[in-house]
Amino acid sequence: MDSPQQERNVLQFALDNPIILTAILKQNPAPLKEARLVSHLWNETVLSLPYPRLALKMNYEPIPNAPEDDRNFKKFFTSIDDRLAKRVNAIYIFHVRLFGWDAGFDDLQLIYLCNNYGDKIQIFEAIIDHEMGLKSFYKIAKRGRPNLQQLRITCTFPPNPASCPEHEYFMRNGLPSKPNLTLFTLSSKAMTYMLTRFVQVFVDAAPNLKVATIPLGFYPNFANSKFLTSLTIAIDGVDQSYFDDPAYKPVELCRMLDQVRDQLVTLNFCSVENILGLKNIDETSDFDNLVPTIGIQLPGSMPKLVKFRNEMVEVFRCDDFLMNADTPKTLLIGKGFKWSGRLEEILENVVHSRKVLSSVRNLEITELHDLQLFGGLVTAFPNLERLKVESFYCTDFKGEESEMELGVVLKTCKGWKGLKHLDLALPTYPIEILEIIKALLEVGELYKRLRTLQIETYNGNFLRHDLTLEELDLFKQLLLAMDGMDEVKITNLILSKKSVENLVAFIEANAMSLYKFNLLRTD
């Protein structure tokens, strides 16, 4: 065994190697602000990362009647390394006075930054809290920024902001071409003329746009976006007023999709936060009267589509797409409301039609509770390599107890002979720890072909378990059965410190890899 000094020398060598250090700092958990302070080498490595994760924050709040020198930002800009300007994060906060806009409405900081570092900016992220911020941002964008690659805008002003009709003309001349802009993302609950025009001018200015995310209700003309391969339609909250808005036009949505149907590789319909449960619906709500079903028909074939995500099957019906289209390799489908049965209807149609979706390799289903229907998916999707099933609630849309229990779900998964990655989020675990261990141990055959396994629950008894001799022996057998996998993660399975120490000693004694078993928790 290496001595502590030898281990330290090896570690120091790795951390002083620019290639190894770069690989470490590319990982998301790496705290780059602190890493810059370690040494000159670390600072240089952070600033030289090909994808800038470190952002220069511009929390701009105008100060009324404040002279430019008092802002003291020019001195700051002259002292920073210009590589810090690769990524800029700006927050616009505008004050409205009694007789007009604040005197500080001139964005001196951003203008100065763009004038001196404009050719360095690759990623620009902005939060805009008032419609007038669009005008300010547009003025900045007109100054060029030829190397801009990604633009992310979050609008936080309300759905019905104060109108500014006198400013609606300011974007009529468009923007200079931004050939390097390949990603454009907009998040907003508001749908106004200015914001609609704002989206269009950036789409027009980006002939090489590849990835776009826009809220439902915005339908830009993508006629010139010949390289667009990924489109996300996002919903930020759902209720009846959302669909009563004049900006909501399903016909325009279909027109927009038709423009890019031959080139899309990824198509997503999802919530802004990428989670379900956007609005809590009371159990007695009449769902069919609350949210209308678009019954969207994807326009014709989509020959290049590889990934299709639909988290809102209540709003975007995709029955015909699954039944008739060339199904993509990755399919993610779920519902946004617990008391909706639309997901079950869609899956039942697939199973009962005996349709075999052989091209699907990756399947993700959210909020399914019918075990028999789940079993039918083994035949409908026979070639799965990756499966993720998330069921948050302990009851289904009818109010009946969920059938997605640990043991029976794992036994069903044995039917997929090519499965390599399994991710289960179940409503609850069995009450007794012995039943949990037995349920996991009974499907040892499944572990022989899996590479990764992740199991978690959102409800249940999370008490600390002090394993008995029988439970400890079975747990050791389980570890041996799982040893062939690359990674095992089981959350909310809490063991006593003594039990964990015993199992860790067993792992080390059998020359197994401890790091792969993320299931031995004491808190």
CATH code at position 498? 3.30.750
Contact 155, 186 (CB under 8 A): yes
Q: Which pLDDT score, from 0 to 100, does residue 201 have?
A: 92
φ/ψ of 436, rounded to 5, equals: -65, -50
* DSSP-derived 3-state class of residue 140: helix
Q: What angle do CA 434, 437, 438 make, to 5 degrees?
A: 85
- Write the burial class of residue 417 (CB in 10 Å: 0-12 exposed, 13-18 middle, 19+ buried): exposed
Q: Which pLDDT score, from 0 to 100, does residue 470 have?
A: 93
Domain that holds residue 39: 15-53
Instruction: Report which secondary-structure segment, H or E, holds 214.
Output: strand 211-215
In a domain? residue 521: yes
Q: Which pLDDT score, from 0 to 100, does residue 282 have?
A: 33
Distance spanning both ends of the chain, measured CA to CA = 31
Extract the tokens encoding 507: 């792992």
Q: How far apart are CA 132 and CA 195, in angstroms?
A: 10
Q: Which pLDDT score, from 0 to 100, does residue 420 have?
A: 97
In a domain? residue 285: no
In a domain? residue 28: yes
In a domain? residue 44: yes
Per the document, the length of the chain is 523
Name the packing angle between helices 469-482 and 433-441 (round to 10°): 30
A 10 A CB-CB count for 201 gives 18
Q: Which of 5, 29, 53 is the last residue of a domain?
A: 53
Instruction: Report which secondary-structure segment, H or E, holds 195.
Output: helix 193-205
**β-sheet bridge partners, residue 401:** 395
Closest CA to 148 of 180, 191, 173, 109: 180
Give every CB contact of residue 284 below 8 A, 6+ residues apart in sequence: none
**HSE-up of 83 (CA within 13 Å, CB side)?**
13
Closest CA to 171 of 116, 209, 132: 132
Q: Are strands 452-457 and 421-426 parallel, antiparallel or unpaired?
A: parallel
In a domain? residue 488: yes
φ/ψ of 186, rounded to 5, equals: -125, 130
Q: What is the DSSP string of 335-368?
A: -S-TT--HHHHHHHHHHHTT---TT--EEEEES-
**HSE-up of 450 (CA within 13 Å, CB side)?**
25
The predicted-structure confidence for 51-87, as pLDDT tens digits, reads as follows: 666 666 666 554 444 444 445 556 666 666 666 666 6
In a domain? residue 37: yes
* DSSP-derived 3-state class of residue 139: helix
Domain count for the chain: 2
Low-confidence ranges of the chain (pLDDT < 70): 1-40, 42-87, 89-118, 144-145, 159-170, 236-248, 272-300, 324-327, 338, 460-463, 520-523
Instruction: Report which secondary-structure segment, H or E, holds 438.
Output: helix 433-441
φ/ψ of 81, rounded to 5, equals: -70, 130
The predicted-structure confidence for 378-414, as pLDDT tens digits, reads as follows: 999 999 999 999 988 887 777 778 888 999 999 999 9
In a domain? residue 515: yes
> What's the whole-model pTM score?
0.80
DSSP one-letter code for 495: B
Q: Which pLDDT score, from 0 to 100, does residue 303 have?
A: 86
Contact 362, 386 (CB under 8 A): yes
Extract the tokens encoding 430: 């069995």
Q: Which pLDDT score, from 0 to 100, does residue 328 have?
A: 86
In a domain? residue 262: no
φ/ψ of 63, rounded to 5, equals: -110, 115
DSSP one-letter code for 165: G
